[in-house]
């Protein structure tokens, strides 16, 4: 049985330096420009309650001027004042905005894997910000359609970098985001019995078939990616139109436990947002207007 593991450190792990074509952690860094399609993906800083002591960093993505999506286990039980969304929009840590409110999906019951699937369900949260995001920042609307098996998805997250042979080798920062791709290999239905397609899963394929756990082989040494120890809250994206992206999921877990979770053959996955659209829309409708000029 697959056993999911959550974590605080985000990492986009890529291919090996001696692969074909060669890869490196530096190749996976997305520039902190205003023109980046991923400029609306930021880091999420969690502070010790009532202090300025940083205890964790996660990832979140803007879905309108006032709201960002993340994993529930990143913010559940936190006070809004202890959560901050950081953007790198045209530079490093250009905008740092505290939370106003936190909305955890009502079916989330803590990071406890389902006995049936071994994965965690309903691990979705929305953070309402205390100020609107700056003019021009891209948002990622939830795609109003299910995700099919075999869909190539783009993963964007913060913190460490590395490769599938050595694991995380480069320390991360909340000002450095990395990008890679993988393929939806399996989909799990709602553990509450609704039948909705609720969880996606992919494996981290290496240069040959020996690391293949499920689905097809690698997208390529310089393309295939994995999120190490959760990359909790990072968006899972697909193209919408030229220069724009839909958000279709949120990364919430990796497997197995131990160092193997950062190697070729590891598995990652998270929540498919189409199943949560009604709840997401209700949260957005209860907040400030998203009609900000220029967005």
Fold of 12-285: Thrombin, subunit H (2.40.10)
Closest to 12 measured CA to CA, from 170, 247, 153, 119? 170
* Nearby residues of 77 by Cβ (< 8 Å), 6 or more positions away: none
Q: What is the pLDDT of residues 204-259, one digit of tens each?
A: 999 888 888 888 899 988 899 998 654 689 999 999 987 799 999 999 998 877 77
Helix (H, G, I), strand (E, B) or coil at 275: helix
β-partners of residue 177 are: 30, 158
Residue 176's pLDDT band (cuts 50, 70, 90): very high
Instruction: Give the global pTM.
Output: 0.92
Domain spans of the chain, in order of start: 12-285
Confidence of residue 89 (pLDDT cuts 50, 70, 90): very high
pLDDT > 70: percent of the chain:
92
Q: Residue 8: what pLDDT?
A: 45
Residue 230: what pLDDT?
A: 40
Of 207 and 278, the one with more pLDDT: 278
Which pLDDT does position 293 carry in this prediction?
Answer: 39
Q: Quick one: how far is CA 26 from the chain centroid? A: 19
Bridge partners of residue 183, in order along the sequence: 152
In tens, the pLDDT along 35-73 reads: 999 999 999 999 999 899 999 899 999 999 999 999 999
pLDDT over 50 (residue 294): no
């Amino acid at each position: 049985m697959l056993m999911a593991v959550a974590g605080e450190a985000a990492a986009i792990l890529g291919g090996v330096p001696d692969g074909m074509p060669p890869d490196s952690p530096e190749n996976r860094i997305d520039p902190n420009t205003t023109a980046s399609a991923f400029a609306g993906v930021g880091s999420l800083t969690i502070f010790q309650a009532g202090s300025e002591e940083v205890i964790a960093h996660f990832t979140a993505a803007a879905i309108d001027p006032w709201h960002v999506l993340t994993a529930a286990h990143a913010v559940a039980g936190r006070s809004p004042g202890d959560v901050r969304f950081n953007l790198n929009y045209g530079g490093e840590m250009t905008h740092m905005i505290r939370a106003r409110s936190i909305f955890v999906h009502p079916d989330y019951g803590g990071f406890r894997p389902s006995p049936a699937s071994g994965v965690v369900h309903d691990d979705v949260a929305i953070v309402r910000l205390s100020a609107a995001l700056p003019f021009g920042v891209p948002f990622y609307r939830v795609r109003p359609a299910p995700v099919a098996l075999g869909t190539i998805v783009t993963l964007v997250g913060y913190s460490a970098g590395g490769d599938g042979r050595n694991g995380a080798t480069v320390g991360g920062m909340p000002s450095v985001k990395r990008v890679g791709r993988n393929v939806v290999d399996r989909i799990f239905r709602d553990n509450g019995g609704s039948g909705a397609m609720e969880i996606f899963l992919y494996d981290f394929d290496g240069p040959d078939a020996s690391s293949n756990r499920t689905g097809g082989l690698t997208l390529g040494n310089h393309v295939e990616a994995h999120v190490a120890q959760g990359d909790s809250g990072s968006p899972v994206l697909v193209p919408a139109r030229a220069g724009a992206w839909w958000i279709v999921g949120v990364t919430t877990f990796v497997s197995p436990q131990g160092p193997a979770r950062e190697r070729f053959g590891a598995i990652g996955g998270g929540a498919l947002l189409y199943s949560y659209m009604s709840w997401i829309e209700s949260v957005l409708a209860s907040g400030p207007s998203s009609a900000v000029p220029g967005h």
